[in-house]
Amino acid sequence: MINALQDKKEISKKLKEKAINEGFTISGIASIPGSSRLKLRTNALDRWLSENYHSEMKWMESERRKNIYSLLDGAKSVLSVGFTYISSESNNKDKILKVGKFSQGEDYHKVIYKKLKNIGKWINLEIPDCKWKICVDTSPLLEKAWAEESGLGWIGKNSNLISKKSGSWLTLGFMILTKDLVPDEPHQSLCGKCDRCIELCPTKAIIEPFVIKSDLCIAYHTIESREKTIPSKIKENLNGWVAGCDICQDVCPWNKSVPFNNNFETTPKEWIKNLNIDSLSWDDTTWKENLKGTTLKRIKPWMWRRNIKANLDS
């Protein structure tokens, strides 16, 4: 019994170390079904959806998001990882047109998936009886809740996951496993009385702590909304944003001094660094060529033109 526990501790430790060696900033493990906090997070999701705060993002309604077993039969543990996407070149200061830092480098979905796939190969050798499934944010998973449960950080008042050491400049990845592993302690919230993200959001999209009303959010309107025009309330507050918005993270005290991740995966694309009003004249072929290999291809060429024009009109 003692040896079995020691083995479980050892393999859990090795798994988290493997994740760090693959290039993730932080890693942690949660047991399934998790603590009572998961139920609270699920209830919060239901309330958010019932208020239609997700607007056009109908995929958020997937029932599978509330049932991790629907993603992998026999699931027992979750490996959660965080990838730092901010580099020393990820800067929007003095830029005429601004792009969210999360999307300035390589497509993080592919970056995270590739690293997790390497961990999967390691699992096949080290834990051959363990089945696994990779999840990035395209999977119906309560991502930030499981990251919090795994001890990576806490869900902040701006609804981003915040790590004590790495701030919130993180994209998340997960591996659901059929192996019973040693879980980390769920993280406690450290936002305290700070409301900077709420107070400084120009469109007041954070209508209460932890609750984002999507149709008030600049990131939603520049990335997700397929409406032909941007509402005037949003337009007058764009201040250069054409793809996403980092304001609620830029003002967060936990992001004051976080380590950069300076590698080819996070280095901003040249066209993003040089994006300006002249980009309005790019044809669809030019846009598609530039967007290749980035997560920004979600924003179609006509939407880029819409977003740029909205900034010129504001």
Give the confidence band of 92 by pLDDT, cuts at 50, 70, 90: confident
For residues 52-81, give the mean pLDDT.
Answer: 92
Query: Chain centroid to CA 83: how far?
Result: 9
Per-residue pLDDT, averaged over 58-85, amounts to 93
Average pLDDT over residues 16-30: 98
The burial class, CB within 10 Å (0-12 / 13-18 / 19+), for 199 is exposed
Digit-coded pLDDT (tens) for 120-145: 999 999 999 999 999 998 888 999 99
Per-residue pLDDT tens for 33-47?
999 999 999 999 999
Mean pLDDT score across all residues of the chain: 95
**Contact predicate 261/86, CB 8 Å:** yes
As a whole number, mean pLDDT of residues 87-107 equals 92
Catalytic residue among 7, 107, 137, 283: 137
Beta-carbon contacts of residue 261 (< 8 Å; ≥ 6 apart): 25, 83, 84, 85, 86, 87
- Between CA 299 and CA 165 the distance in angstroms is 32
Residue 246 is a catalytic residue: no
- Does residue 63 sit in helix, strand or coil? helix
CB 216 within 8 A of CB 204: yes
At 45, list the tokens.
């999701």
Non-local CB neighbours of 129 within 8 Å, separated by 6+ positions: 179
pLDDT of residue 61: 85
**Reported pTM:** 0.94
Cα→Cα distances 227→76, 162, 222, 301, 308, Å: 42, 31, 10, 14, 14
pLDDT tens-digit series, residues 151-209: 999 999 999 999 999 999 999 999 999 999 999 999 999 999 999 999 999 999 999 99
Q: Can you tell me the distance from the alpha carbon of 97 to that of 269, in angstroms, rounded to the nearest whole number?
A: 14
Query: What pLDDT was estimated at residue 2?
Result: 54
Higher pLDDT, 234 or 2: 234
| Residue pLDDT, tens place only, 204-230 | 999 999 999 999 999 999 999 999 999
